[in-house]
């Protein structure tokens, strides 16, 4: 058997991160068993514990070491004992930006047995292509006269033609490979007339390259209505970094819950490793209690396998999660994080 080896950087992170990543790795081992595909893992001690011990979030040396890997699996970053933004910006966003992960791919699928306010399983199947390296996330801003009645704070959204065009083209190429072949641009060009118009003009310019793909437009506020009342209408959504962040938590809520929402921070040009992580955060309210659903991390592992060209293995992992969702709806059992991971690994092996 020929052996394929991948170097996998593991950043378990904070809160429920280590709990869900353990199950993700368990399922990765189950999926690759006997296939000749080997993941050599390096664990990176990054997050709140490291920050408290050293004051470091992500050093240049950490970044260089991570760059030496093919892919990254991340759990969650953020902790109530660390000032808000320190780890989120200094670690998570720094990774996405430094590794040029400009496509934040966030699929939503409603599996049989999962709960949606309105739809039947099978009716919800869309993917959000969220821009990952620009918008209001770039850190272009500041505060003046802090803590005075005259305080002014700015957070300027930066949108470049290059940055918008590459993610829009990626979204159209994703749509071209899907059955419905439809892109919805979500923005707010009735108010954000500079950024919004750049996004609209870019879509108009790129669309003719994909004659089979249709497209339409929704303002973000209207998009949240459709996401709640008729999410089955969506196929591929392309949107900016902040709108995409908000819309994908809502997407998770209407398609089985945040415990099932997976994502890939993809660098399509492969100038750096891509990073796979659940959409959810470190969930301090349930951390350390084995209450977290690891399914989102397991589905992120599936996305990672697919990204590496192992579509069959990815499908096997996703099928295990779907089957587990159906079974759990029937049994009504409350299981620990590890028990869910064990059940998923057993289904993958079966």
Ligand X SMILES: CC(C)[C@H](C(=O)O)[C@@H](O)C(=O)O
Ligand Y SMILES: NC(=O)c1ccc[n+]([C@@H]2O[C@H](COP(=O)([O-])OP(=O)(O)OC[C@H]3O[C@@H](n4cnc5c(N)ncnc54)[C@H](O)[C@@H]3O)[C@@H](O)[C@H]2O)c1
Active site (annotated) includes residue 221 = yes
Q: Which residues bind ligand X (CB under 6 A)?
A: 78, 88, 92-93, 245, 279, 281
Is 282 flagged in the annotation as binding? Answer: yes
Nearest approach in angstroms of CB 122 to ligand X is 26
Q: Which residues bind ligand Y (CB under 6 A)?
A: 16, 20, 76-78, 88, 92, 258-259, 277, 280-286, 292-293, 296
First-to-last CA distance in the chain? 21
Nearest approach in angstroms of CB 318 to Mg ion is 22
Residue 343 site contact among ligand X, ligand Y, Mg ion, none (CB < 5 to 8 Å, cut-off depends on kind): none
Active-site annotation holder among 137, 235, 240, 306: 137
Active site (annotated) includes residue 245 = yes
Active-site annotation holder among 235, 245, 306, 324: 245
CB 129 within 8 A of CB 264: no
Is 281 flagged in the annotation as binding? Answer: yes
Placement of tokens 């902790």 in the chain? 79
Active-site annotation holder among 45, 221, 269, 270: 221
Beta strand spans in 44-171 (E): 71-76, 103-109, 125-131, 135-144, 152-158
Q: Where are the alpha helices (DSSP H) in the chain?
A: 17-32, 48-54, 60-67, 86-87, 94-98, 161-176, 195-206, 220-229, 241-254, 295-307, 311-331, 337-349
Active site (annotated) includes residue 14 = no
Is 70 flagged in the annotation as binding? Answer: no
Contacts for 48-51: CB closer than 8 Å, 24+ residues apart: 48/14, 48/78, 48/79, 48/81, 48/82, 48/87, 49/14, 51/82, 51/86, 51/87
Angle between helices 17-32 and 295-307 (to 10 degrees): 50
In the complex with Mg ion, the residue whose CB is nearer, 235 or 245, is 245
In the complex with ligand X, the residue whose CB is nearer, 78 or 121, is 78
Tokens of 127: 């993917």
Is 290 flagged in the annotation as binding? Answer: yes
Residue 263: CA count within 13 A, CB half-sphere: 31
Tokens of 154: 């700015």
Nearest approach in angstroms of CB 21 to ligand Y is 11
In the complex with ligand X, the residue whose CB is nearer, 171 or 213, is 171
CB 167 within 8 A of CB 129: yes
In the complex with ligand X, the residue whose CB is nearer, 134 or 245, is 245
Q: Which residues bind Mg ion (CB under 5 A)?
A: 245
Report the alpha-carbon angle 277-280-282, nearest 5: 95
In the complex with ligand X, the residue whose CB is nearer, 73 or 348, is 73
Active-site annotation holder among 49, 181, 230, 249: 249
Nearest approach in angstroms of CB 33 to ligand X is 30
State the binding site.
96, 106, 130, 221, 245, 249, 281-293
- Residue list for the binding site for substrate: 96, 106, 130, 221
The catalytic residues are 137, 188, 221, 245, 249
């Amino acid at each position: 058997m020929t052996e394929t080896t991948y170097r996998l950087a593991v950043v378990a992170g904070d809160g429920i991160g280590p709990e869900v990543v353990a199950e993700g790795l368990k399922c990765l081992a189950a999926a690759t068993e006997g296939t000749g595909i080997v993941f050599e893992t390096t664990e990176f001690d990054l997050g709140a514990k490291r920050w408290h011990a050293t004051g470091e979030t992500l050093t240049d040396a950490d970044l260089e070491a991570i760059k030496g890997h093919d892919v990254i699996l991340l759990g969650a970053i953020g902790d109530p004992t660390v000032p808000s933004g320190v780890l989120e910006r200094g670690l998570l966003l720094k990774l996405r930006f430094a590794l040029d992960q400009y496509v934040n791919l966030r699929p939503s699928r409603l599996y049989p047995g999962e709960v949606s306010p309105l739809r039947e399983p099978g009716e919800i199947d869309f993917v959000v292509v969220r821009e990952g390296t620009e918008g209001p996330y770039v850190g272009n801003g500041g505060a003046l006269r802090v803590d005075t009645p005259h305080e002014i704070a700015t957070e300027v959204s930066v949108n470049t033609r290059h940055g918008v065009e590459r993610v829009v083209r990626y979204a159209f190429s994703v749509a071209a490979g899907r059955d419905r072949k439809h892109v919805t641009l979500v923005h707010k060009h009735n108010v954000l007339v500079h950024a919004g118009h750049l996004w609209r003009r870019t879509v108009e310019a790129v669309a003719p390259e994909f004659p089979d793909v249709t497209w339409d437009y929704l303002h973000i506020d209207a998009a949240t209505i459709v996401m709640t009342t008729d999410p089955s209408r969506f196929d591929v959504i392309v949107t900016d970094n902040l709108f995409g962040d908000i819309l994908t938590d809502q997407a998770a809520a209407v398609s089985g819950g945040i415990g099932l929402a997976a994502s890939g921070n993809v660098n399509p040009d492969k100038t750096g490793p891509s990073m796979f992580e659940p959409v959810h955060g470190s969930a301090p309210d349930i951390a350390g209690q084995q209450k977290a659903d690891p399914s989102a991390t397991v589905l992120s592992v599936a996305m990672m396998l697919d990204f590496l060209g192992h579509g069959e293995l990815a499908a096997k992992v996703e099928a295990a999660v779907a089957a587990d969702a159906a079974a759990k709806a029937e049994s009504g059992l409350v299981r620990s994080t590890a028990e869910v991971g064990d059940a998923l690994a057993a289904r993958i092996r079966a």
